Amino acid sequence: MLGVIIKKEIQENLYSYKYVVIMLLTVVLVFTSLFVMYHDYRQRVADYEALLPDKGKSSALLRPTSLAIFSKGMDEALCSQYRIAMNVGISAGQNQHAFNTMFRVFDTPDLFYVISVILSLCAVLFSFNLVTSEKEAGTLRQTLACSLERTRLVAGKWIGGFCCLALPFVLSFLLGLTLVSFAPEVQISREEYIKLALFLAGSLLYLAFFFSLGLAASSAYSRSSSALIVSLSLWVFFVFVLPGLGSIAAARIVNIPSVQKFTVLKHQVRMKKYMNFYDNVREKGSVENIDLRQLDPENEAVVADYRGKLGSQIALTRAFTRASPASAFNYLAADLANTGILERLNLKRAYLAYKDIYLSHPMDVTGEVKGDYPAFTYQRLSLMEVLRGGGLVNFTILILQNVALFAAVYVLFLRYDVR
């Protein structure tokens, strides 16, 4: 019987206007996003290659990852050129987007954004009237007049409806991935394919949550218009409001100075060190016996204190905002694509470690490191590291949220008045 219900749901959906609109939107957006982000990636790779001759000379540079085509995250900042100098510490170079101010105004339309905001809305729109429309048409009463369990009916509706929603997305994702992987600049390793498979699985879990949300609203109200209003309000709450509130709460608990204030502080530390150094040089008459490494501002307490607090705020924000599936999916997608906070923290640690190695080499009187020293090398986080660093937790949270919501749908449907 379950098979019959699923088949009926799929058939009904396939012939509906709703399906046509959502399928078109999904296909067009997935391809547009991949096309746009592929061109952005290509430009960034060209920029990286142009900078390559500088690599190794007291600067560190990271190649853009192909996975950024799917979820760009912070890859623009990760792939900035970072220079290391004895008296300045680590400073970042300009990035291409800084020159077009419009990039600062709007969001990045990568696949993550499309799924997180637009397809989640489509999922809600797909399911908000699955129960109410049948009740309004009177078919729900007729169906349940037969010897059919409500459990089977709701399961059939869920499976049939979700298959219709997921099918165009999965197909366009796979087709898009195939096309992208043929591009000469794109290098996707076997492990990265597994990451993309997990990205797809995470996306389906995320969409399933919003599909269940619409179904829950449909099972809680007798009219489609009421179910629509409630499900859209809940969509806004889960996608925009809850992550925002979580980050605000974390910022209240771990208060850190603004970046501007920290920049002023760090600059002052540098200047004080420089002035003391200069006085020292004047006293001794030369820099021969003075350790120039004392000018390095990165090891100061004020810098370490700021970094510690920023790390705590990020950890707390991650913990709080995971209550929202949008944030859990955000962390999962960006970390799997090696463009998220996890990668950023790891890269920062690598830069600081490299700076110490670089400054431990002999330097001349001007503070320029001389002789051979190793170039900066960095390996982005492996799949296991991503999963251990929070990926598994995010997956589990998405699964639990789905289970909880489906249970709510089930209970609501069992209590539903079909008359």
Partner 1 sequence: MLTTIIFKEIHDNILNLRFIVGFILCVLLTLSCVMILTHDYRQEVKDYGTRISQVDDFLGKYAHRNRLYPLILPQKPPDAFRPLMVGIPRDADLGSFDDNPLPAIFPPLDLMFIVTIIMSLLAILFSYDAVSGERESGTLKLISSNSVSRASILVGKWVGGTISLLIPFLFSVLAGGLYIAIQPDLPWDTSAWLSFVMLVLASVTFISVFYLLGLFVSAVTRSAAVSILSSIFLWVLLVLVLPNLSPFLAAQLKRIPSVNKVNREVFHLTQEERDEVGRKLSQQVRDKYQKQYGKPFEDYLALAENEIRARVSADPQLMAMHESFRKEVDQAWEEANRIQGEKARKIQEDLKLKAESQTRLARQLACLSPYADYAFTATDISGTGMRSLRYFEGITEEYSGVLWDYLQKKEVAAKARDPLFDENSFIDLGDRPRFEYREEPLRARLKGVLPYWGVLLVFNCIFFAGAFVAFIRYDVR
Residues 266-305 that bind partner 1 (CB under 8 A): 266-268, 271-272, 274-275, 278, 303
Should residue 419 be labelled a site residue for partner 1 when binding is judged by CB under 8 A?
no
Beta carbons within 10 angstroms of residue 387's beta carbon? 19
Q: Which two tokens stand for residue 219?
A: 């099972």
What is the spatial distance between Cα 234 and Cα 213, in angstroms, rounded to a whole number?
8
Q: Contact 84/358 with Cβ under 8 angstroms?
A: yes
Q: Which is nearer to partner 1, 105 or 301 (CB)?
A: 105
Q: Cα 57 from chain centroid?
A: 32
Assign 3-state DSSP to the chain and report helix, strand, coil percentages, each to 5: 75, 5, 25
Rounded to the nearest whole angstrom, what is the least distance from the CB of residue 173 to partner 1 in the complex? 18
Residue where the block lists tokens 């009177």: 138
Amino acid at 97: H
Instruction: Single out the residue of 68, 337, 343 nearest to residue 192, CA to CA.
Output: 337
φ/ψ region of 371 (left if φ > 0, alpha if ψ in -120 to 50, else beta) reads left
Q: Which two tokens stand for residue 191?
A: 């492990």
Q: Which is nearer to partner 1, 189 or 268 (CB)?
A: 268
- Of these, 13, 81, 172, 212, which contacts partner 1 (CB under 8 A)? 81
Rounded to the nearest whole angstrom, what is the least distance from the CB of residue 216 to partner 1 in the complex? 16
- Of these, 1, 240, 294, 374, which contacts partner 1 (CB under 8 A)? 240
Rounded to the nearest whole angstrom, what is the least distance from the CB of residue 102 to partner 1 in the complex? 4
Instruction: Say how many residues touch partner 1, by CB under 8 A.
Output: 100
Instruction: Single out the residue of 184, 130, 106, 168 nearest to residue 5, CA to CA.
Output: 130
Residue 254 burial (C-beta neighbours within 10 Å; 0-12, 13-18, 19+): middle
Q: E strands along 15-78, which residues?
A: 59-60
Q: Which two tokens stand for residue 28?
A: 């067009």
Q: Which is nearer to partner 1, 246 or 410 (CB)?
A: 246
Q: Which is nearer to partner 1, 105 or 145 (CB)?
A: 105
Instruction: Single out the residue of 162, 223, 213, 229 nearest to residue 409, CA to CA.
Output: 213
Q: Which is nearer to partner 1, 172 or 247 (CB)?
A: 247
Binding to partner 1 (CB under 8 A) within 379-418 occurs at: none
Rounded to the nearest whole angstrom, what is the least distance from the CB of residue 22 to partner 1 in the complex? 8
Q: Which is nearer to partner 1, 79 or 205 (CB)?
A: 79
Instruction: Single out the residue of 34, 23, 79, 39 nearest to residue 344, CA to CA.
Output: 79
Q: Contact 97/107 with Cβ under 8 angstroms?
A: no
Binding to partner 1 (CB under 8 A) within 196-235 occurs at: 224-226, 228-230, 232-233
Q: Which two tokens stand for residue 116?
A: 């997180």
Rounded to the nearest whole angstrom, what is the least distance from the CB of residue 244 to partner 1 in the complex? 4
Rounded to the nearest whole angstrom, what is the least distance from the CB of residue 334 to partner 1 in the complex? 8
Rounded to the nearest whole angstrom, what is the least distance from the CB of residue 123 to partner 1 in the complex? 12
Q: Which is nearer to partner 1, 112 or 413 (CB)?
A: 112
Q: Which is nearer to partner 1, 14 or 46 (CB)?
A: 46
Rounded to the nearest whole angstrom, what is the least distance from the CB of residue 419 to partner 1 in the complex? 20
Q: Which is nearer to partner 1, 250 or 369 (CB)?
A: 250
Binding to partner 1 (CB under 8 A) within 85-144 occurs at: 89-109, 113, 117-118, 121, 125, 129, 133
Instruction: Single out the residue of 326, 320, 387 nearest to residue 113, CA to CA.
Output: 326
Binding to partner 1 (CB under 8 A) within 138-197 occurs at: none
Rounded to the nearest whole angstrom, what is the least distance from the CB of residue 51 to partner 1 in the complex? 5
Rounded to the nearest whole angstrom, what is the least distance from the CB of residue 237 to partner 1 in the complex? 9
Rounded to the nearest whole angstrom, what is the least distance from the CB of residue 345 to partner 1 in the complex? 9
Residue 354 burial (C-beta neighbours within 10 Å; 0-12, 13-18, 19+): buried
Binding to partner 1 (CB under 8 A) within 21-80 occurs at: 21-22, 25, 29, 32, 36-37, 39-40, 43, 46-47, 50-51, 54, 74, 77, 80
Q: Which is nearer to partner 1, 210 or 410 (CB)?
A: 210
Q: Say which residues have a Cβ less than 8 Å from residue 404's Cβ, sequence separation at least 6.
A: none
Binding to partner 1 (CB under 8 A) within 304-363 occurs at: 306-307, 310, 313-314, 317, 321, 330, 341, 344, 348, 351
Q: Say which residues have a Cβ less than 8 Å from residue 256's Cβ, sequence separation at least 6.
A: 262, 306, 309, 310, 313
